[in-house]
Each structure stands twice: as C-alpha cells, then as structure tokens.
Amino acid sequence: EVQLLESGGGLVQPGGSLRLSCAASGFTFSKHAMSWVRQAPGKGLEWVSVISANSGSTYYANSVKGRFAIFRDNSKNMLSLQMNSLRAEDTAVYYCAKQALAGPGWLDPWGQGTLVTVSS
Amino acid sequence: DIQMTQSPSFVSASVGDRVTITCRASQGINNWLAWFQQKPGKAPKLLIYAASSLQSGVPSRFSGSGSGTDFTLTISSLQPEDFATYYCQQANSFPRTFGQGTKVEIK
C-alpha cells in the first residue's frame, strides 16, 4: 500500500523558514515524480511544485518561485520542501502527492497533509 | 498560466439526483484534465484522469467527458458518500492549475 506521510509543519513568524518532509513507502519512490499542493484554510487547492524522479527537473508556482525549493533523497524515500521568506498567505495545509508514471503524471495518492501557519 | 473555471460553485442536490459539473480551461489542454473529490478534513482523491478515464476503485456512477477547453464531471445517481467538494486540474503545462471547486451539498 502506498503511504505518504508529511511532517514539519507548525507555527512560524513572517519572514521565517520551515522545511517540510514527506516520507514515502509502498512503491518504488525513485521512479516517480512527486509534487506539493497546498490548501489555505477554507480555500481551494493550489499546486506548489514538482520534482522529477531523478531531480533533473523542477517547477514552481509563481507565488513561491525564488522562496521555496523542492528536493528529494531517493536513497531515503524522502521528499522535501524548503520554504523561506514565509508570508501570511503561505498559511495552508501542505500535501505531498505521488505522480503516476503514465501520461503527464496524475496526482495519486496524496498524503494527509501538514499545517503551516505563518503568523506573528 | 492556464486558468480553470468551474461551474457552478455550489450544488444543492438530493440522493439519486444526476449532477453535472463543468470545467473550462482558458486555453486548449487536449484531454489533460483530472477530477478530484475532497471531503472535509481529508486529502483529495483522484476520480478521473485524462478527462474520461475512471481511476481504479472509483464507482462507475462517476464519469468524465470533454476535450480541448470544455470538460464535464457527471455523477449519474448521487449517493450519500458523494457529498463533497470537487476540483478539476489541468496537467497540460506548468504551472499546474486547479479550478476553484464545486461543493455538492444535501438538498
């Protein structure tokens, strides 16, 4: 069974940094691209970033470009999101999601999410 | 960026009703569209991919159609467990983008 377990969320002050992690199991992690998607409280879904299986390609939403960095460690089956210069509008539940091998990489499944709150 | 617009934003329906949700892309995305279901406090779940392909384990009352810019998710006979929020997402280009969501509530 595929399992994705996010961690690292919490309360951080504006301008601060936080690193999220996503521990993967139940599939060959090194073969799949992985994504982060977030959801602000009471709002819709916002795609954040994607990293290819071999870390050769990364893409970011315009709202986080230059502040967030996605990376992975295939030896540890771990996906990470380094978030710097955090703003109040980054407050959200952050989900990691596995991308299918076929097609453009459909997001399935998703982890349970970790809450990031940016506030003074 | 490709904008995804869902309609309606809110649907009030009864068990057994047929429900249709539409999603329009601001430019052509071929059939690179997915539909997700999200229940309160839970992670989204993939229902439909490539516009019309049913994800494994998803009941056959869910179906998707469309290509290019206009897409539809249909629930043929609404069940109590289907009351949730539904999102479309384009996978044609980066950045990936989602529709704003359609909440399906009990009438």
pLDDT single digits (tens) A51-93: 999 999 999 999 999 999 999 999 999 999 999 999 999 999 9
User: What pLDDT does B11 receive?
Assistant: 97
Interchain proximity A47–B50, CB inside 8 Å: no
Torsions phi, psi of A30, nearest 5? -70, -10
Distance from CA of A17 to the nearest CA of B (A): 23
pLDDT of residue A103: 84
What mean pLDDT is predicted for residues A12-40?
98
User: Are A3 and A26 spatial neighbours (Cβ–Cβ below 8 Å)?
Assistant: yes
Is the pLDDT at B106 greater than 90? The verdict is: no
Among A5, A22, A47, A98, most B C-beta atoms within 10 A, so best to mutate, is A47
On whether any CB of chain B is under 8 Å from the CB of A50, the answer is: yes
**What local confidence, expressed as pLDDT, does residue A24 receive?**
98
Rounded mean pLDDT, B37-58: 97
Span B69-96, mean pLDDT? 97
B17 pLDDT band, cuts 50/70/90, is: very high
Q: Residues A13-25: what's their mean pLDDT?
A: 98
Residues of A with Cβ-Cβ distance to B38 under 8 angstroms? 45
Q: Is the pLDDT of residue A35 over 90?
A: yes
Q: Give me the phi and psi of B3, to 5 degrees please.
A: -95, 135
Contacts of B74 (CB under 8 A, 6+ apart): B18, B19, B20, B21, B62, B63, B64, B65
With an 8 Å Cβ cutoff, are A44 and B87 in contact?
A: yes
Both tokens of A49, joined, read 């970033």
Pairing of strands B10-13, B102-106: parallel
| Per-residue b or e along B7-40, where b marks 16 or more CB atoms closer than 10 Å to that residue's CB | eeeebebeeeeebebbbbbeeebebbbbbbbbee
pLDDT value of residue B29: 97
Structure tokens at A29: 């992690």
Percent of chain B at pLDDT > 70 equals 100
Tokens at A43, concatenated: 């709002």
Strand A10-12 and strand A114-118: pairing? parallel
Question: Cis omega before residue B80 (within 30°)?
Answer: no
- Per-residue pLDDT band for A102 (boundaries 50, 70, 90) equals confident
B43 closest CB neighbour out of A100, A106, A113? A113
What are the chain A neighbours of B1 within 8 Å (beta carbons)?
Answer: 62
CA atoms of B29 and B69, how far apart (whole Å):
6
CB B29 within 8 A of CB B2: yes
